[in-house]
Amino acid sequence: MEKSILRLPRGLRDFPPEEMAKFSYVENKIRRVLELYGYQEVRTPIFERFDLFALRSGEEIRSRMFVFSTDEGEMALRPEVTAPIARMVATGKLDLSKKPLKIYYIGPCYRYDEPQAGRYREFWQAGVELIGSPYPEADAEVIRLATRVLEELGLEGYVLRIGDMAVIRAFLTQEGVPEEAVNRIIGPLDVLTSSLDKLRMYREKLSEANSGRPLGPDELSDLIRRCDEIRRLKEEELLKMDAGESLIPKAYEGLLEPDPRVYRLKELYEEGSFDEICDVLDKKAEELVVLTKLRWAYYGVEYGPGQTYKMPEEVFDKLMELMSISGPGDEALPALEKLLGRSGQVGQALSRFEEALKALSWFGVEGFTVDMSIVRGLEYYTGTVFEIDFPFLGAQKQVCGGGRYDKLVEEFGGPSLPAVGFAFGVDRLVLALERSGKVPPARPRCDVYVIPISEEVLDYAIRASEQLRSSGLRTEVSLSRRKLREELSIADKLGARLAIIIGPREAEEGKLTVRDLETREQVSLPLKEAIRHVKAALAGGKT
Ligand code: HAM
């Protein structure tokens, strides 16, 4: 047999019981918090029609999903669950008389991402959707749910950043960008800001370290990949310029000059030339911004058949300025007002944003940062957007993302229903627990291990085990017919607290011999008393 058929595809994992226990622990905590706030669980299929996911994002999304054909047309494994929930609402599957709907889900999602630590092709999301309330207190409740889950898990050191897509959208509309073009700009903007954020993060780590290995192997390859991608984009443009095919004016040629240091990043890292790498990172970040600006200004953004929007350079510059606003609310809001003014749609969006931030304080959510660079890749967001990071997780530090999407249900042909929600990456929460040393000790497979010492007493031992289970005791009965000594050592290995040894005398007298595996003390008791005795021992008393 070919060995390769046994190899898991990249980005997929198996979960042995010890791993599953961590996932169940996290999922149970999430369920408990969400139900405390009145949210109800739903489930949607693992795959749906490709168009459901592409409607908002366009064809580009294809390369980031697992797409396959069936007799009913093209399907995609779900990359997320918000669009399926919006479909469920739009097609009348949920009782709208209970508006706002409060829904949650926990399940696998699939993205054709480049796998690395914390980024998988199959991963688990736990999310909520609050559908039917346009009010800022709904945004605030959803954000509070997310922070409460983290509190329940005992996870500290998270960074909550909040932005607002309505402000960004209103700004772009005010500058004359057609609405459909705005939708097509959001995705690439997210890629741009996430790239800048990653480059900045690597720069910080490198500039704080004098020696050693400040980056993990995945981080170093991600850094190199990102820099190389910018080099490739520049080179492509330069080649076009040389062939006279570039739409970018020749005057910008100097900006596209190659920088041979990109080829030596690994070497520079190994010899500890971190300052040099920081310099490369600064240049790459700058180049990425300029390249995007020039491409949008001279090639434009396609937003429909034969329709292209060319963004004037000064609009792009102002957009960058807007997105660079970050800080505590009482600093960021005045800065936003200063940059954008307070009239028309922009003014309304700013007031709404302010109200959402105020409502957060009613829920006791504090210590967040307003960060206008959060644009979120999924293009359905229309208002408040937020992300939660654990910086110690490195490149894949984002454990939660969400926001308001007021048009999606309507776009799917349903009623006009404003909505807000988020999703946690459960895998990343598990990683955060592991890194913080907060994984609870694994629960043993059973509490009581029943050992029939010979074949004749199997009947009695198994019947007794069934009664122990009926009384709520987690009980295993040996199915291996081993010698008593071996059975006792297995009981120990399984982590059982007590063994119950059954021989012909116990069977005859209708008793059970309970052995404390720690103290090795034994007592022989009738069934009912034995159960009481076992329960007392498990509750912490000595036997
Ligand atoms: P998202 O930010 O794309 O939002 O994904 C939510 C979370 O899923 C991320 O914060 C991250 O923790 C996790 N995640 C994403 N991709 C991967 C991956 N390849 N490997 C491991 N974890 C990953 C959404 O999906 C929206 N539907 C959230 C939402 C709900 N917005 C409104 N309602």
Ligand 1, atom nearest to 378 Cα:
3
Whole-number pLDDT of residue 57: 66
Ligand 1, atom nearest to 399 Cα:
12
Ligand 1, atom nearest to 121 Cα:
19
Query: What number is the average pLDDT over the span 200-215?
Result: 87
Q: Is 503 exposed, middle or buried (0-12, 13-18, 19+ CB in 10 A)?
A: middle
Q: What proportion of the chain, given as a percentage, has pLDDT over 70?
A: 99
Distance (angstroms) between ligand 1 centre and the Cα of 106 equals 12
Instruction: Give 430-462 pLDDT, tens digit per residue.
Output: 999 999 999 999 889 999 999 999 999 999 999
Whole-number pLDDT of residue 543: 47
Distance (angstroms) between ligand 1 centre and the Cα of 387 equals 10
Distance (angstroms) between ligand 1 centre and the Cα of 124 equals 9
Distance (angstroms) between ligand 1 centre and the Cα of 296 equals 27
Residue among 113, 117, 110, 126 at smallest CA distance from 53: 110
Ligand 1, atom nearest to 377 Cα:
3
Distance (angstroms) between ligand 1 centre and the Cα of 125 equals 7
Distance (angstroms) between ligand 1 centre and the Cα of 437 equals 24
Q: Which protein residue's CA is at the shortest distance from atom 1 of ligand 1? A: 401
Q: Which protein residue's CA is at the shortest distance from atom 22 of ligand 1? A: 425
Q: Which protein residue's CA is at the shortest distance from atom 18 of ligand 1? A: 119
Contacts 24+ apart (CB under 8 A), 23-27: 23/124, 23/426, 23/430, 25/433, 25/439, 25/440, 26/126, 26/153, 26/426, 26/429, 26/430, 26/433, 27/106, 27/126, 27/426
Q: Which of 91-95, 173-177, 392-396 has the lowest mean pLDDT?
A: 392-396
Contacts of 408 (CB under 8 A, 6+ apart): 56, 82, 83, 86, 380, 419
Ligand 1, atom nearest to 428 Cα:
12
Q: Which protein residue's CA is at the shortest distance from atom 11 of ligand 1? A: 425
- pTM for this entry: 0.91
- Angstrom distance (rounded) from CA 139 to CA 148: 14
Pairing of strands 369-371, 326-327: antiparallel
Distance (angstroms) between ligand 1 centre and the Cα of 426 equals 9
HSE-CB of 177 using CA atoms within 13 angstroms? 28
Distance (angstroms) between ligand 1 centre and the Cα of 399 equals 8
Whole-number pLDDT of residue 252: 87
Distance (angstroms) between ligand 1 centre and the Cα of 107 equals 12
Instruction: Give 371-383 pLDDT, tens digit per residue.
Output: 999 987 777 899 9
Coil vs helix vs strand at 44 = coil
Distance (angstroms) between ligand 1 centre and the Cα of 37 equals 22
Distance (angstroms) between ligand 1 centre and the Cα of 99 equals 25
Query: What number is the average pLDDT over the span 152-157?
Result: 97
Q: Which protein residue's CA is at the shortest distance from atom 13 of ligand 1? A: 425
Q: Which protein residue's CA is at the shortest distance from atom 8 of ligand 1? A: 425
| Locus of tokens 């109800």 | 40
Is the pLDDT higher at 284 or at 218?
284
- Angstrom distance (rounded) from CA 199 to CA 212: 19
Question: What is the secondary structure of 67-105 as a DSSP string?
Answer: EEEETTEEEEE-S-SHHHHHHHHHTT-S-GGGPSEEEEE
- pLDDT at residue 49 tops 90: yes
DSSP for residue 154: T
Instruction: Give 339-378 pLDDT, tens digit per residue.
Output: 999 999 999 999 999 999 999 999 999 999 999 999 877 7
Contacts of 334 (CB under 8 A, 6+ apart): none
- pLDDT at residue 152 tops 90: yes
Q: Which of 27-36, 129-138, 294-303 has the lowest mean pLDDT?
A: 294-303
Q: Which protein residue's CA is at the shortest distance from atom 4 of ligand 1? A: 401
Ligand 1, atom nearest to 127 Cα:
30
Q: Which of 109, 131, 399, 429 to mutate to test the pocket of ligand 1 (most atoms within 8 A of CB)?
A: 109
Q: Which of 44, 428, 429, 431 to mutate to test the pocket of ligand 1 (most atoms within 8 A of CB)?
A: 428
Contacts 24+ apart (CB under 8 A), 250-256: 252/290, 252/294, 255/287, 255/290, 255/294
Residue among 251, 273, 108 at smallest CA distance from 207: 273
Mean pLDDT of the chain: 94
Q: Which of 125, 379, 399 to mutate to test the pocket of ligand 1 (most atoms within 8 A of CB)?
A: 125
Ligand 1, atom nearest to 119 Cα:
20
Whole-number pLDDT of residue 58: 64
Ligand 1 neighbours, Cβ below 6 Å, are 80, 82, 111, 113, 119-120, 123, 125, 127, 129, 378, 398-403, 421-423, 425, 427-428
- pLDDT at residue 60 tops 90: no
Q: Tell how many helices (H) and how many strands (E) occur in the chain.
A: 18, 19
Q: Which of 80, 110, 191, 385 to mutate to test the pocket of ligand 1 (most atoms within 8 A of CB)?
A: 80
Distance (angstroms) between ligand 1 centre and the Cα of 108 equals 11
Distance (angstroms) between ligand 1 centre and the Cα of 128 equals 12
CB 423 within 8 A of CB 400: yes
The beta strand positions in 274-325, using DSSP E, are 301-304, 307-309
Q: What proportion of the chain, given as a percentage, has pLDDT over 90?
A: 83
Say how many C-beta atoms besides its own lie within 10 A of residue 466's C-beta.
11
- Angstrom distance (rounded) from CA 315 to CA 297: 10
Distance (angstroms) between ligand 1 centre and the Cα of 187 equals 14
HSE-CB of 298 using CA atoms within 13 angstroms? 16
Distance (angstroms) between ligand 1 centre and the Cα of 517 equals 46
Q: Which of 24-38, 233-247, 493-507 has the lowest mean pLDDT?
A: 233-247
